[in-house]
Each structure stands twice: as structure tokens, then as C-alpha cells.
Structure 1
Amino acid sequence: MTAVTQSSLSDTHKRASDFQVSTILILTKIVADSFALRGLILSGFDVQAKILLRSTAEYMEALVAIIDNPDLASEFAILEEPGKSGKFWKKHLARGKVRYKIRKNWDEFFVGEEQATVQWFANWGHRSMALLAGLSHPTMAGGFFTAIPLKSKYSEKEWPSMFGERSDASVSTISIYMSFIFPILLVCRGFPFDIAWPHVHQKIKYDANDELHRHVHIGRDVLSSLVLSLVKETNLKYVYPEPDLSIFPDYSSFL
């Protein structure tokens, strides 16, 4: 998606709108963060991956808000100071404002479904924010899960975890990541092709003969199916391994 949008702007950078520039910069940050998250997880730094994910999730929510209301791009495009970005967040994203936008799109996606189902998915990623914030600030949990990464099975000889030790808790990290990326796929299912918005000066017409276009167009639906499979009840036991809590019985209530 980023490559398609960037290729469109490369020839028309002088006419690029605030919306186009904002979405490209946000997508670039999300893609770079995604590779960094993958590297941290594979290197055995799950807590650090979750700390990064908190920032990534905020960019994902900003992208949802801007795609839902492209007028916000003009305000986002002039955010150069931390104080201004904080005001933008409080005004447009904080206190459930993004949840309302996502809920509206879930209503359209789950036509005829029970409201409890819609509400659950609308708050899917948001429920993890407290966990991510708790690891981002100095807490016992951040140090504890770095020292003893959660696993379904421990060996007698463990590598010192401060140098990187893979954790089964990384499955939940990936799940949280997916819960934030899914609304991006949902809020505008045709993005970035054939968007009839005045904020997009040069529209990208979908070309079925273009391999990159096909990857974006078809891959989005495949990704959506994979994301939803993560929370399907019959798949949970295969997706989320049961952690072994026997090595720290005194902390079982804490975990």
C-alpha cells in the first residue's frame, strides 16, 4: 500500500495534498515499526516490542482517523512540536473518539449481528492499551517479564534473558498489533485505489495487470481473514500457548 501511494506521488509531489503526504508519512512509520517489531520479537525482546507497539498503535489510530475524516490531514501536516501533537491527540483521538469511528465501520461490516459482537470488535485493540502503557512506564511487570519471559515450557538451562530470550507472550504482541491494523483495512476497504475524495489530487486506478496492485488489493482480504482467525474461539488453543506458571507459584495471582 505504501509503495503504491509513494509511486503515485513521486511524479506529482508538487501537487500532493496534505492528505496524501500525511498518509504516506504515517504509513512509512507503521511499516518501519513493523519491521522493528519483527526483529525485536525474533531476537527475544518481547517487552521492548510491546513498548514500541504502543507508539505504533497510536500512529495506526491516527491513520484511521485521517482516512475516516481527510480534513484532519491539514491539521496533522503542521504538527512539528510535541506540544502540538499532544493537543491533536486529545482533540481527535483520545477518550474514545477513535473508538466511535471504528464502531461505526464495524456496524457497517457486521450488518445484522448482535451489538455485543460489534462492541467487542470496536474495543478490540483499545483493551490492550493499559497493558502497553504499563510496560512503557517503570513497573514491576516490565522488569519481571524481561527477566522471566513467559513460556509454555522452560528448560533447565536458560540463556540470560537480558540478552534476548524468545517468549510465547510474543503471540499476544502480534495479536495486539493485528487488532490495531485491522481497522485500517476496515475503515476504507478500497484504499488506496479509486478513491473519490477531493483531498486526493491524483487518483490511483486499480490495474489488475499490475502485480503490486494485485498484492495490495488481494493481500488485504487475505490479511483480514488471517486477523479474524486469531480470535475465532475454535482456534484459540492453537494460537495462544498456555504459559507454564509453575516456576513462580508465588506470583501466579500477579500473572
Structure 2
Amino acid sequence: MVAILAGHSILLNDKLTSVAFQNHLELYDEFVAWLADLSAVLLSRNGDLKREDFAYAHLASALCSLALSVRHQACLGHDVAAKILARSLAEYSDVMALLIVRPDLRAEFQKEQEPEKFWRNHVQRGRARRAILEALPLKEQAQTWWTEYETFRREEGKFLSSTVHPSYVSAAMIMLAVDHEKEPWPGFLGRVTDASVRTLIYAMQCLSLVVFLSRLPFGDEKFQFSAGLQFDPKSKLHRQIEARRYVLVRILRFLGMRRSEKGVFKLKEPAALKEWALQELRNKLHG
């Protein structure tokens, strides 16, 4: 019985998703694909990593798993569950970014028997993001971006807290966003709505710190960051990680410049996006 209900929900949601949702899902999928490539490279080179560098490999894997889980829940029409997972994704992203700018904390992060202590000391209430800000020599324009980013994270964080902790609002959200006149199907069985557009945007913005901070996993001269790996231009996977990063930076710039709630912007096919990014990378390598 449950399998029949779940199957019908999937078919229904495939038919009812809006252009806005599909557009933002295309953008979000680029982040998931990048995290998958990143995790694959780090985990396949276990023998080349120092013990403390395993923190990056395991966090990248956790980020990929959470990002996929957010996608699954959003596509199945369970946006409240997607928002709960997006909040965890944000926290893991902050920790990953913190360890990039503060590699001296890797051992403490790995050895801490009570994770809440590390969280209280280094992450909660904006501590991690302040440490990241101090490590970035931001110019005036970037300072404005950071102020807007912090405001966005703070406001969205409060909104997501209402879904993580049991409340009447979060319970009601499951049903209020559903148009029963269009299709009589209860939201608690799974119904995609444009509320998930906001969830996907939040998840992408949270991942931006990891994308912007360094050439993970190959090292960065500015931050002296390295996970013990060297970029190999002959490796298809290495080239793909760098190419996707260029795509992600441009997606984030786009999201920062404008918001599209109705899906008015046009997207290139994913294959075309990747080919364009690979060409950008080739130009940079040979430039």
C-alpha cells in the first residue's frame, strides 16, 4: 500500500513541478555533482592523505550525502524535511570552510569526543563565519557582499529553525502550500511546491563558502591550503572538478544579482554548461 502511494506521489510531482523549481534544481544539481567529484577524488587518494586531511575527505562526503538528501526530499514534495536537512548542510559547510582557513583545528575536530564542545567553541552564533571573514582580505565591494550574505544566513537560519523544532507553523506548512483545487492530493504524502525554490537557494548559498575559499582539494597559494593532492591536468576528474567550480561561481554570482521566482531565466543544457566551463579552464591553463 505504501509503495503504491509513494509511486503515485513521484509520478504526480514529476507532472506538477513548476518552471521555477526545475530551473533551480538544474542549478542545484551542479553543486551536488561537484561535491560527488570532490568526494571521489579525496577518498580515492587515501594513501596520499595525512591523518588530519581525512577531515576534508569525510566532510566532503557528508556534504555530498546531505546535498543529495535535500534534493530527494524536495523532489518528493517533502519541503519541511528538505529544510531540516538544509540546515544541517549549512552547519557542515561552515565547519568545512572553517577547517580550510584554520587547518590547525583539524586534529581537535577529529579527536573531540563531544562534538557539541567543538561546535560551541568554534562554530555557533557566527563564530566560524567570523573566523572565515578574518582570513579573507575582502575589498570594499566584497565587504558589502559579506554583509548581505550574513543577513541572508541569519534571517533564513531563523526561518529554518521553525521547521527543525516542532511548531504549529512547521506542521501547517506541509499542507498550506498545496493547491488542492489543481490536484486533490494531500501534502503529507508528498507534493512539490515552489517553497522548495527557497530551500534550494539557501543550500546553494551555504555551500558558497566552500566553493569560494580555495581550490579544494588541490591547494591554494593565498591560504596555503592543501589536502596533499596536486592538480593533474591529464586527469579527467581533476579537470572536471575545476570546470564545475567555474560553473558554480557563476551560478552564485547570478543568484546574488537577481532572484527568479517564476523561472524567467533560460538555462543552457548541462552538457553545454560543462563544455563552456572546460573551455574556460583550458584557456586559463594555457594562458
**TM-score exceeds 0.5:** yes
d(CA) in 1 for partners of 2:262, 2:161 = 27
The equivalent of 1:222 in structure 2 is 247
- CA offsets, 1:233-253, max 9 Å, x none? 3x435459xxxxxxxxxxxxx
1:7-26 aligned at under 5 Å gives the runs 7-9=44-46, 11-12=47-48, 16-18=50-52, 20-26=53-59
Partner in structure 2 of residue 51 of structure 1: 84
Tell me which residue corresponds to 2:33.
none
Q: Deviations over 1:90-114 (max 9, x none)?
A: 1001122122134346653xx3417
Matched to 1:24, the amino acid is A
- Find the partner of 1:178 among 190, 204, 211: 204
Distance 1:195 1:117 in 2: 22
3-state DSSP of counterpart to 1:44: coil
Q: Deviations over 1:17-55 (max 9, x none)?
A: 22x111111111110111111111111000110011111
Q: Normalising by structure 2, what TM-score? A: 0.71
Q: Secondary structure at the match of 2:119?
A: helix
Q: Distance in 2 between matches of 1:219 and 1:106?
A: 23
Give CA-to-partner distance per residue, 1:139-179, whole Å, 9 cap, x none: 122111111226xx764432111110001010000010011
| Length, aligned pairs only | 226
Q: Percent of pairs identical after alignment? A: 23
Q: Which residue of structure 2 aligns with residue 87 of structure 1?
A: 117
Range moving further from structure 2, 191-200 or 91-100: 191-200
Normalized per residue, the structure richer in helix is 2
1:51·1:135 contact (CA, 8 Å) conserved in 2?
A: yes
Q: What is the 5 A alignment of 1:13-162?
A: 16-18=50-52, 20-80=53-113, 84-104=114-134, 107-108=137-138, 111-113=139-141, 115-149=143-177, 155-162=181-188
Partner of 2:40: 3
Q: Deviations over 1:72-98 (max 9, x none)?
A: 111110234xxx211111100112212
Unaligned segments of structure 1, at least 5 residues: 241-255
Which is bigger in relative contact order (C-alpha 8 A, separation at least 6)? Answer: 2
**Partner amino acid for 2:97?**
V
**Aligned-partner residue type, residue 50 of structure 2:** A
Structure 2: distance between partners of 1:232 and 1:195:
27
Q: Structure 1 residues 170, 106: CA separation in 2 closer, same or farther (over 3 Å shift)?
A: farther
Q: Would the alpha carbon gap of residues 71 and 216 (structure 1) be closer, same or farther in structure 2, given more than 3 Å must change?
A: same
Paired position in structure 1 for 2:260 = 236
RMSD of equivalent CA atoms: 2.5
Q: Which amino acid aligns with 2:205?
A: S
Distance 1:54 1:237, change over 3 A: closer
Q: 1:114 to 1:195 in 2, by over 3 A?
A: closer
